[in-house]
Amino acid sequence: MYLVGFYSPKAKSGVTELCLSIYNWLKMNTTLSAAYISYGTLEKEEISNEIIHEFSKLSLTEQKQKVKKLKKEYDIVIYDASSQLSEGVLKLLPIVDRLFVVGEEHKDFAVKLQQIIQFDKIFDKTVKNFITHLQGNKTFIIREKKEDHVIGFNYSKKETTDIGQMIYTDYVTHYLNEKFIKKNERVLKIVKQIPKDELFQGIYGLGVDFEKAMLFHKYVILREVLGQNYTDALESLFPLLIDSPFEELLEKFQNELFFITKLKI
């Protein structure tokens, strides 16, 4: 499930109307299943299993259950937070995979909101538990093109198509990323089962280049010497083994070794 949030600090900014139009666009123009959550009350739409309103009236436990259920049943969920700024909204926004802040004039607000979201993800236990519960930990503010502007909405059919296509493209990337992460997790599980003193041979046996496998083993040993737990060292360095070429892994190893040597002098 891919959760997309929409928020505006400005009352009656058309967020709900646009959210609903994007929800309908996704259903009409893609093969993805879509659901809709409104933090407030919807007065015109027919409420169903995939269109939910008055989310704010649910307890945190009920919200968790509802989102977890939607996560299993739908590919994309549109979360309409509208202009209701409250502690409840701030606690829920960190769970979205993408966050649209409505209105180009709200750039400073969007940056500050992002800072609050990141703070809550790190220090607020209820938010951290919610994120862990949903297994989602990425929040972004989508900017317009490559310019440093928050994407703004003056409702039009053209804008709906553009944003709908953007969300669809993001979902496809998200889907591939999830698949990649799952593959990584399976390989990491195998790596953890390799005896510590045979780490190099084990990784080489999995298909990693000889030099890279040896360097990775030395990097893990270095972290252990510095006091890091062996399993923690494996987990923290594993992304480098998967994603980085030998040259980049070597550079990071040498930089860390040089930094430690300088500290001891």
Please answer whether residues 152 and 104 qualify as being in contact, where contact means their C-beta atoms are separated by less than 8 angstroms.
yes
Write down the pLDDT at residue 7. 83
Quick one: which of 28, 19, 22, 29 has its CA closest to 53? 19
Residue 82: its H or E element: strand 76-82
CATH of domain 2-179: 3.40.50
Q: Is 138 helix (H, G, I), strand (E, B) or coil?
A: coil
CA distance 252 to 142: 31
- Amino acid of residue 63: Q
pLDDT in tens, 183-196: 888 999 999 999 99
Q: Tokens in use for 226?
A: 């510095």
Q: Is pLDDT of 30 > 90?
A: yes
pLDDT in tens, 54-80: 988 888 788 888 888 898 899 999 998
Instruction: Band the pLDDT of 138: cuts 50, 70, 90.
Output: low
Q: What are phi and psi of 3, to 5 degrees?
A: -105, 120
Domain ranges in the chain are 2-179, 194-264
Radius of gyration of the chain (CA): 22
Write down the pLDDT at residue 153. 55
pTM, full prediction: 0.71
Q: Is pLDDT of 233 > 90?
A: yes
Mean pLDDT of the chain: 83
Residue 204: its H or E element: helix 199-205
Write down the pLDDT at residue 265. 53
